[in-house]
Structures are given as C-alpha cells and as structure tokens.
Structure 1
C-alpha cells in the first residue's frame, strides 16, 4: 500500500472518530453543575437560633427552638430539591469545589436561602 493510501485511511479514520465523539457529546451532554453555600446557610441559621437561646428558658421555648431547627432542615432539603429541578442541574456544596470558573458554575445560594427561610 502506498504512503498516500495510508495517509487517506488515517485521515478518514480520524475524521470518523471525531464525528462519533462530537455526535456522542451532542446527544449526551454533561450535566450542568450549580453550587450552593450550604455551610453558610446553616451557619447563619445556627446564629439566629443561638441568639434566641437564653440561659434560663422554659421547656416550651426550648421545644419551639428545636422544632424551628428541625423545620429549617426539612425546608433546606425541599429548597435544594426545588432549585435542582428549576435549573435542571446537579447541586454541589460550594465547600466541595476546589477551583471554579465563575462563568461555568452558577451560584444558587441566595435562591436556596430565600426558599428555606420563606414560610410556605
């Protein structure tokens, strides 16, 4: 086989491989990622609850604070689920991100905070 035939065969094989990979990427795109500062949201809620705690509290007031914390946890889970379905993306805790390109990862912390703290 001539050198030209080898070159043409290689070029056709490379073009076919590129077309297959491009087609796969088009029909199977990588999932979109979004970040949320969950630790920041939880820390701010802890500060709010700690400010409500008094050295001498009756059991009813303590139970209300505990119920508020429990309700917050459930609301946070619901908010994260809602935001993930709204953006059709995977939510990642921002503490898990080592390096980030601001133009590629959206930050939904404020949206999650609003949904978590809103009374439904």
Structure 2
C-alpha cells in the first residue's frame, strides 16, 4: 500500500484553489507577496472543504478513505495534535477529524511551498514573453 502524501496533496489543493477561485487582482497581490492578502487567502483556505475539510469537519466525506489517508502518517498526526490540540482525544474524534487536523496543520507550510512554485512559474512565463 502506498502511503498517502499529505504535503503533496495539500499543496496541490492549494494551487487548484488559487487558480480556480481567486480573481486576478487578488492573485496579483498574492504573487507580489502582499502580506495582508497572503494572510487573508490562508484564512479563507483554512475553512475550505476542498483544501482542509475544516469547514464541514471532513475533507474526504468518507470515514474509510480518511483512515486510508492516515495509514503511515501517525508521526504527522502526532505533530499536528501536539501543535493544534494537545488535549483532544483522537480516538473519540475519529479518522475524519484526524485527517482534517493534519491538513490544517500543514496548511501554512504547504501554502508557502505552493506560492513559491506559482511565483516561479509566473516569472518563467513572463521571461518567456519578453
């Protein structure tokens, strides 16, 4: 069984969110590194089901799928729990909660990676236009 890569999936979801849901003005400010825009976009994504699942409490909308994502990611879940909610009972909350917690935990790091890739790709395209 292949271990689910949370970082690569969250990063891809972030890129898709930025491409499909942000208007050109917001995208421009994001690429320029406007700190307020960056924080606003991260805050917006935090509650999006197609990025973290935090809006509804589930990204997968399927308990078994959430369990499958968690296989091999126990260390990552431990880190997320310690950082975000050290006193929560993960067994009581269930796999979908755990899956969302990891996605929320990784959001900032994955956002920075995704944004760096987008900026790099944007600069490459602009250089090619000259």
Which structure exhibits the higher relative contact order, with contacts defined as CA atoms closer than 8 Å and separated by 6 or more residues? 1
Could you say which structure has the larger radius of gyration? 1
Of Structure 1 and Structure 2, which has the larger fraction of its residues in helix?
A: 2
* TM-score range normalised by the length of the shorter chain: under 0.3
Of Structure 1 and Structure 2, which has the larger fraction of its residues in strand?
A: 1
**What's the TM-score once normalised by structure 2's chain length?**
0.26
**What's the TM-score once normalised by structure 1's chain length?**
0.27
